[in-house]
Amino acid sequence: MAGVIYVDADACPVKEEALKVADRHGLEIFYVSNSWMRLPEGLRVKRVVVEEGADAADDWIAERIGKGDIAVTADIPLASRCLKAGAQALGPTGKPFTDASIGMALAMRDLSQHLRETGESRGFNASFTRQDRSRFLEALELAVQRAKRGQS
């Protein structure tokens, strides 16, 4: 049975899309952020503003998420924590984090951070596209369907 959608809302570009899918399936959705922000409205929308701290929103989500739930986050360590709790994790571009891919994602994150710190790379974030938004909607729909079937 599908449970809850948790959105790591700080800098998340797909807040509205996540709500569309949650509404379609009658799911509760938590938007978790470090500060107050304008968020989509809905009957099952829960807003959570955590106290300040680097990982406060991540900790809030990781402490509550479980089997049948879905996390929407670009934060790879949070995605890893969600997978360990038996939940699904999905990036805002629609890329699912899986048990098979999370190790490589964490390693690449660490490598990229090291290269930025040593000046070897300045980092590059590709712009968010309409195709990314479409892929996210499709991936979240599939994740909800998997959760309803009891699959992770």
Tell me the per-residue pLDDT of 118-148, one tens digit each, with 9 for 90 and over. 777 666 566 889 999 999 999 999 999 999 9
Q: How far is CA 141 from CA 130, 138, 144, in A?
A: 17, 5, 5
pLDDT at 112: 59
Phi/psi region, residue 26 (left: phi>0; alpha: psi -120 to 50; beta: rest), is left
Tell me the per-residue pLDDT of 32-59, one tens digit each, with 9 for 90 and over. 999 998 898 888 999 999 988 879 999 9
Question: What number is the average pLDDT over the span 63-85?
Answer: 95
DSSP tally for the chain: helices H, then strands E? 5, 6
pLDDT at 85: 97
What gap in Å lies between CA 34 and CA 9, rounded to an integer? 9
Question: What number is the average pLDDT over the span 15-31?
Answer: 96
* Domains, in order of start, for the chain: 4-98+129-148 (3.40.50)
